[in-house]
Structure 1
Amino acid sequence: MTDLFDRSRVLFVHAHPDDETLATGGLIAELAARGVEVAVLTATRGEQGEVVDGPLAHLAGTPELTAHREGEVAAACATLGVRHHAFLGGPDARAAGLPPRRYTDSGMAWLDETETVAGPGDAAGPDSLTSADPAEVAADIAAYARAFGADAIVSYDAHGGYGHPDHVALHAPSRAAASEVGVPFREVASVADPDDALDTPQHLPLLQEALRHYASQLTVDGADVVHVGGQRQPILTRFTLRTP
């Protein structure tokens, strides 16, 4: 777990804007507080995300939502202490010799009545992350890892947290990229192990501040977030990292 604190430059690979804060925000904040340089690589812009009712509802289904979500992730990363952020396929995050490309959100569907387990939806287009060649995704991650000078890469485990297909699709390429670059890969367990976990409750106020930047996607309510679909989730401050 704590071997990341001995690293100088750690790269987090995430699927959509808000995932870096929801899934690993406390870990990022703790690394930054200890002087570790952190980068976040976001694969898509969350184009298929719904929009919270209210002043931003007009963004739903429009090109302006993409630009707004780019601003949200930039603000959240800055709040967490992240000074390096890029989108997969863009500058520094594209394999040499390939033209820039934009990976898009694959969408998802809920697989259970409690809306806590996700699976593939029916709206993934040809440019979606799940439609991409995993080897191409891995090469792009490796390109950014080299550009940043990462000495460790962190991403989802094989379940992808709650099963979102874009999360699942990043596990193997992130692991392959770490192998290609020659740095350790650490996966964030979908469920923290109470006997092997890093607790970061001291960063809750910072996480609340970072999450408030995602007003299009969620609402902060005390120590919880309420997602656009009404699902309530405690803000995560406990994390288990594993070597797969």
Structure 2
Amino acid sequence: MRFMTDHRMLLVHAHPDDESIGTGATMARYVDEGVGVTLVTCTAGEMGEVLVPDLAHLAYEKEGGLGERRRGELDEAMRVLGVTDHRFLGGFGRFHDSGMAWHEDGHAIPAESIPDNAFWTTDLIEAADELVKVIREVRPQVLVTYDQFGGYGHPDHIQAHRVAMYAAQLGAAPSYRVDLGEPHDITKIYWTAMSESRMRESLRKLRESGDTETFKGMEPDGKLPPFVTPDELISARVDGSATVGRKMDALRKHATQVEQDGHFFSGAESGHSWWSDEYYRLVKGTAGPAGSDGFEEDLFAGL
């Protein structure tokens, strides 16, 4: 594949739709700048909740088939964002969605019953080797994945973090699995983040508008859940104001997972101002110059 620049970015996400929710504006921006953007999705999301009544039969606990449906949704979303290189880790169906349950504290945890071949319980080296192949083929300078808690505790998100971080180390080791390609050391690694100040500001606007249901249990000046990151830990803010429209259009393509009249698209927290900025923590590499708000403005800065 040829791109307008020699910059390449690899994003590792757990399920179809995760990429559009958390990094869609970033992906579209870098596609527009001629960067090679590669998305690796670790599972097909077979255990996801089906929000379209007419498609309820696709649910895992019913007839099944949701994974194949979400595969098509991901194809459509990537067409909207302009991403031409998107793959399932090890090939479609290699690793199965693990499912999840909710803890009383408001974060995800592994479910009591986990399906066979669940990504959560797969051998770490087996999964990492599949990503090592991609790293050594694509040779990205920037890797984006989740933090060690997977943002909100979903076992597949946590496993995606572990696989991405381990594969980055293994892929750089000259003596490791030479059959998987020439070693490559990724220069900068980022974890996705949600800004605490931005969340508090948004919660305040929600509550002032009379909305008490969205993010129920969270208050502007109260304790926030683990998926919210203190600003002092955040390194970069990607301004997606020029691409957020495509981000939202891509998100709409994940129709089984996203309510078309839900909080992404309606209510006080909907719209471009809420979803355009995407935040990141730099965990490997040297930060580039900071903008007026103290954050890097370009994930490739300093290369």
TM-score tier, shorter chain, comes to 0.7 to 0.9
* Aligned CA distance change for structure 1 residues 38 and 171 (closer, same or farther; 3 Å): same
Structure 2 counterparts to residues 211-226 of structure 1, below 5 A: 211-221=251-261, 224=264
Alpha carbons 1:107, 1:122 under 8 Å: kept: no
Corresponding letter in the other structure for 2:114 = A
| Of 130, 134, 137, the match for 2:127 | 137
Partner of 1:198: 238
Corresponding letter in the other structure for 1:217 = Q
- Greater RCO structure (CA 8 Å; 6+ sep): 1
Alpha carbons 1:125, 1:131 under 8 Å: kept: no
Alpha carbons 1:106, 1:166 under 8 Å: kept: yes
Is 1:189 the equivalent of 2:201?
no
Corresponding letter in the other structure for 1:152 = V
**TM-score, length-normalised on structure 2?**
0.66
Name the CA distance, whole Å, in 2 between partners of 1:189 and 1:151. Answer: 16
The secondary structure found in structure 2 opposite 1:162 is: coil
Would you say how many aligned residue pairs link Structure 1 and Structure 2?
223
Alpha carbons 1:106, 1:130 under 8 Å: kept: yes
Structure 2 counterparts to residues 75-154 of structure 1, below 5 A: 75-90=76-91, 102-112=94-104, 115=106, 117-154=107-144
The secondary structure found in structure 2 opposite 1:240 is: strand
**TM-score, length-normalised on structure 1?**
0.81
The secondary structure found in structure 1 opposite 2:242 is: helix
The one-character-per-residue Cα deviations of 1:80-138 (angstroms, maximum 9, x if unpaired) are 111101111128xxxxxxxxx7100111111236x5x2111123223011111112111
Name the CA distance, whole Å, in 2 between partners of 1:29 and 1:175. Answer: 24
Corresponding letter in the other structure for 1:176 = Y
Name the CA distance, whole Å, in 2 between partners of 1:7 and 1:155. Answer: 21
Alpha carbons 1:159, 1:190 under 8 Å: kept: no
* Aligned CA distance change for structure 1 residues 24 and 112 (closer, same or farther; 3 Å): farther
Corresponding letter in the other structure for 2:186 = V
Structure with higher Rg: it is: 2
- For structure 1, which segment, 43-52 or 173-182, has the greater mean C-alpha deviation from structure 2 after superposition? 173-182
- RMSD over aligned Cα atoms: 2.6
Q: CA deviation at 1:140?
A: 0.8
* Structure that is richer in strand per residue: 1
Name the CA distance, whole Å, in 2 between partners of 1:50 and 1:223. Answer: 16
Could you tell me the percent identity over the aligned residues? 35
Partner of 1:41: 40
Alpha carbons 2:124, 2:163 under 8 Å: kept: yes
Alpha carbons 2:145, 2:192 under 8 Å: kept: no
The secondary structure found in structure 1 opposite 2:256 is: coil
